[in-house]
């Protein structure tokens, strides 16, 4: 693969197009809270429309005919709609063929509407007690280390599952079957925690439709359960969902200089930190994902600075209820090769054979993680840094 030109292939002026990836600050413009009038939704703002200028919708017939599907089609009336038998493996859409111009355009301009068939809550025990059947798969953002494209390829736009009512019905029954949580664990003291954002970013999904809002509101009625999702995008519309303390939003954080290199198209890290108090005041529990931790020259100082910044700027009420997950980078040989073609400087820090070890997974993919001793020492160092700079930040788990 060769490095591609920074200009969008179609000359489009999308705010988050390739030019945003290849400028010094590749992250989203930090104006979401202010570019829409009070009372208007952010998703109708110019910023949101530039992030997702949807022009093409692939839809399973049943998804298009569903109430949620019709709402989405009405929302993007100028989009060309193509019927597809399945949201999986759409020819010319999924996969790694082509180049970054094409991928970024696909992420911005394409949506897939599908019907979620498998409804299973998977036991987890780390980020949550259960991984819920999510309301979407795929993402419009472009983090260089993202594992979400592993099954559909890097050009993996958002697939919205339109049968949100069935997903919520399933969750209600699953939660009822669990009964009361018998004892505290690191996920939560009293509630069964369900992560419904494992395969995308629910704050971005909320620019498209009400799936995220519906889930947040559903969990408000379930006193034994709590929803949870990680996000790298500040969407002020979520402040109006009234979660009643039953949704935990986990803002993912890393040193801003790492994020500018790796977290492409996301909200800048300082904006995610600033948003924490707003989300707490709006009724969310606010945690932080310190992830992925990328080991590169200067990482200790950079994390120390980030943690000190958290200590300096977060109000006491945020600190009192905050907790964090610490997750070291895992990578993948296939994604490494893809990234070399369009974002090789990311691989300078992500691909470190000198300190990483490989493991072949059951499906044949070669996954890469820091060597045991390197990882152990780095986790301990992070714990020390948190104790020194943000001692109020409870670590839920670190690995």
Binding site for ligand SF4 (CB under 6 A): 139, 141-143, 146, 148, 200-201, 232
> What's the CA gap between 33 and 371, in Å, rounded?
42
Pseudo-torsion of CA 122, 127, 133, 139, nearest 10°?
A: -140
Of 139 and 164, the one with the shorter C-beta distance to ligand SF4 is 139
Which residue, chain included where needed, has tokens 């670590």? 395
With CA atoms as reference, report the closest residue to 75 among 236, 201, 212, 208.
Answer: 208
Least distance to ligand SF4, CB of residue 139, Å:
3
Contacts of 49 (CB under 8 A, 6+ apart): none
Between 301 and 365, CB nearer to ligand SF4: 365
Helix or strand or coil: residue 373?
Answer: helix
**Closer to ligand SF4 at the Cβ: 136 or 163?**
136
Q: Quote the least distance from Cβ 247 to ligand SF4, whole Å.
A: 17
Q: Which is nearer to ligand SF4, 191 or 254 (CB)?
A: 254
For residue 202, the minimal CB distance to ligand SF4 (Å) is 10
d(CA 266, CA 274): 15
Tell me how far, at minimum, the Cβ of 179 lies from ligand SF4, in Å.
32
How are strands ordered across the β-sheet holding 122-123? 122-123, 130-131, 192-195, 225-231, 247-253, 285-293, 323-328, 394-398
Min dist CB 155 to ligand SF4, Å, is 12
d(CA 214, CA 242): 11
Nearer to ligand SF4, 249 or 304 (CB): 249
- Please identify, using beta-carbon distances, which residue of 15 and 148 lies nearer to ligand SF4: 148
The CA-atom distances, in angstroms, between 109 and each of 78, 95, 101, 200 are: 12, 16, 12, 16
Minimum distance of ligand SF4 from residue 181's CB (angstroms)? 28
């Amino acid at each position: 693969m060769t490095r591609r030109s920074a200009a969008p292939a179609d000359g489009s002026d999308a705010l988050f197009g390739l030019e945003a990836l290849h400028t010094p600050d590749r992250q989203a413009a930090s104006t979401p809270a202010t570019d829409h009038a009070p009372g208007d939704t952010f998703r109708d703002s110019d910023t949101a429309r530039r992030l997702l200028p949807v022009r093409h919708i692939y839809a399973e017939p049943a998804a298009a005919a569903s109430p949620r599907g019709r709402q989405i089609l009405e929302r993007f009336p100028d989009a060309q709609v193509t019927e597809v038998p399945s949201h999986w493996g759409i020819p010319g859409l999924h996969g790694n063929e082509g180049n970054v111009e094409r991928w970024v355009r696909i992420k911005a301009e394409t949506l897939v509407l599908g019907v979620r068939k498998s409804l299973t809550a998977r036991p987890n025990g780390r980020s949550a007690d259960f991984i819920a059947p999510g309301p979407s798969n795929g993402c419009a953002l472009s983090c260089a280390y993202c594992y979400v494209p592993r099954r559909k390829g890097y050009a993996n736009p958002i697939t919205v599952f339109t049968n949100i009512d069935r997903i919520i019905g399933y969750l209600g029954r699953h939660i009822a079957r669990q009964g009361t949580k018998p004892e505290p664990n690191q996920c939560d003291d009293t509630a069964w925690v369900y992560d419904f954002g494992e395969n995308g970013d629910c704050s971005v999904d909320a620019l498209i439709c009400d799936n995220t809002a519906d889930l947040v509101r559903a969990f408000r009625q379930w006193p034994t359960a709590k929803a949870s999702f990680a996000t790298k995008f500040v969407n002020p519309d979520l402040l109006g969902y009234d979660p009643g303390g039953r949704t935990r939003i986990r803002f993912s954080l890393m040193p801003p200089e790492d994020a500018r290199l790796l977290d492409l198209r996301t909200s800048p890290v300082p904006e995610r930190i600033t948003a924490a108090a707003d989300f707490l005041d709006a009724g969310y529990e606010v945690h932080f994902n310190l992830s992925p931790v990328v080991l590169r020259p200067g990482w200790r100082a950079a994390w120390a600075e980030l943690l000190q910044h958290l200590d300096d700027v977060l109000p006491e009420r945020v600190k009192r209820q905050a907790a964090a997950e610490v997750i070291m980078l895992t990578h993948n040989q296939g994604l490494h090769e893809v990234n070399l073609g369009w974002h090789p400087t990311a691989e300078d820090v992500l691909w470190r054979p000198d300190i990483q070890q490989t493991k072949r997974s059951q499906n044949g993919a070669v996954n890469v993680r820091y060597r045991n001793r390197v990882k152990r020492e780095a986790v301990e160092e992070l714990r020390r840094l948190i104790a020194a700079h943000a001692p109020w930040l409870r670590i839920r788990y670190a690995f």
